[in-house]
Structure 1
Amino acid sequence: MKQSAGLLMYRRAADGTPEVLLGHPGGPLWRSRDDGAWTVPKGGYEAPEEALAAAVREFTEETGHVPSPPYLPLGEVRQKSGKRVQAWACEGDLDPGALASIAFEMEWPPRSGRMQSFPELDRIGWFTLAQAREKLLPAQTALLDRLAVALSTADGQR
């Protein structure tokens, strides 16, 4: 079973409303998809690499930005494909225009024999939790709920 790890970066808008940073997958298979296609920046890992270390590495590779601790555990979700995704939240503020994603190669068009390079994420953006619920892959929306609970608990302790 494939396992993946990722970071859900969040910030607070001027009115205190939380916003999250999501990434849109690059490549021709995702080009025309929007709602239900965005993702938490994440990627696969294998032992002995630890999940949190993989999440930080993948976030950095896919956005070009090095996140800062603390990292708040959001648990695991299982995607439709069966892939397990462990996620953490971290606070930060990243300019979507500064995206610098690594690339992957795939044969495109199919059976053409031509390899083409595409960015892992072709764009990133900030969304309110309600907007993010529409944009995210359905299996990852539970991470938004867990973040909202964690932030409201933290707000109550201030």
Structure 2
Amino acid sequence: MGAPGAQPAVLAAGALIWREKHGVVQVMLVHRPRYGDWSIPKGKLEARESFPAAAVREVGEETGYRVRLHRPLPASVYLLPDGRSKIVQYWTAAVRSRIGPGPKNPKEIDETRWVELDEAAQLLTRQSDRVTLRALTDQLEEEAALTSPIIIQRHAAAVSRSKWRDGEKSRPLNSKGKKQAKALPPMLDAFAPESVVSSPWKRCRATVQPFAKRSGLDISTKEPLTEAGHTSEPSRTAAIVERVLREARPTVLCTHRPVLPTVIGTVREFATREAGLELPRENPYLAAGEALVVHAAAGGRIVAVERHQPRID
């Protein structure tokens, strides 16, 4: 909590887009005429917007590219002239498609440029941006920059067990949970999942349905992801998670709090030491509606972990 009377931090997000062309890695930088500098695409969060959704939106507005977020990069934190802190969350990113001819507002961004890593280090104006670039370079050297995001999604807030008399399978989301489910699609879409796997119970399906509908994806339901199925045969639950990790295909996997110890325990078996330390260890593991994004490199090796909540307030 900040000091009494302190102004809230300015929150922003962005991404360092990279590609390989003729065997050479290039990144995209943007020129800001107002400041006369070269920078990494980024911008402020809008009301009730998550960091991942903001990063994708801002990159699209500043470059004309729709991107998929991959591994997170170190956040940049610095003081603004008015004394407020600014926190910028960054990711590596790859182009999904063209959504425009270039920057949306030429007064903010008047030029974009693909450059090789050495040239980028020379062009970038801020030292903090060069630190971000160096982090990408390190990931490339580790051959762990282009990852598959796998999202472990706890279902959104549901009607309490004590107030529901018709059985666990049909227990629905409450009003808060419905808002969370409605807010999830932009956050999940930032990682461009290609499949959705879920417990068939109503509250799980209702959590991922808005995203699946928006993305044109079917929901593949798996009984071992239910509380009852997990209690009966936890090994089958672990097998589903292991298969998703080994396939290393961007996926949303939605389940229940009592199932999370097995799910996260299986993820931990695939995680590097550093990533394993970032995995939740204590009940409730994830809050209702919270997403645990694990980044899988080749063979399912988990090299990075992050957590995100849909913002509804």
Give your verdict on TM over 0.5: yes
State how far apart, in whole Å, the 2-side matches of 1:93 and 1:129 are: 21
Report the counterpart of residue 22 of structure 1 in structure 2. Answer: 29
Report the counterpart of residue 50 of structure 1 in structure 2. Answer: 50
Give the residue type in structure 1 aligned to 2:93: C
- Would you say the 8 A contact 1:22–1:38 is kept in 2? yes
TM-score, normalising length: structure 1: 0.71
Q: What count of residue pairs does the alignment treat as equivalent? A: 132
State how far apart, in whole Å, the 2-side matches of 1:138 and 1:50 are: 26
SS in 1 for 2:52: helix
Task: Tell me how large the CA RMSD over aligned residues is.
Answer: 2.6
SS in 2 for 1:72: strand
Find 1:132's aligned residue among 120, 124, 127. Answer: 120
Find 1:144's aligned residue among 111, 133, 140. Answer: 133
- Would you say the 8 A contact 2:72–2:91 is kept in 1? yes
State how far apart, in whole Å, the 1-side matches of 2:29 and 2:137 are: 16
**Runs of 4+, deviation exceeding 6 Å:** none
Give the residue type in structure 2 aligned to 1:138: Q
Q: Residues 59, 70 of structure 1: CA spacing in aligned structure 2 closer, same or farther, 3 A cutoff?
A: closer
- Would you say the 8 A contact 2:29–2:38 is kept in 1? yes
- Structure whose alpha-carbon radius of gyration is higher: 2
Identity of aligned residues (%): 31
- Would you say the 8 A contact 1:133–1:144 is kept in 2? yes
When you count strand as a share of all residues, which structure comes out higher? Answer: 1
Alignment of structure 1 residues 8-157 onto 2, 5 Å: 8-14=16-22, 16-27=23-34, 30=35, 33=36, 37-45=37-45, 48-67=48-67, 69-79=68-78, 81=80, 82-92=85-95, 98-102=101-105, 119-136=107-124, 137-154=126-143
- Note the C-alpha offset of 1:13: 2.6
- Note the C-alpha offset of 1:65: 2.1
The gaps in structure 2 that reach 5 residues or longer are: 1-8, 145-296, 299-313
TM-score, normalising length: structure 2: 0.38
State how far apart, in whole Å, the 2-side matches of 1:86 and 1:70 are: 12
State how far apart, in whole Å, the 1-side matches of 2:121 and 2:78 are: 15
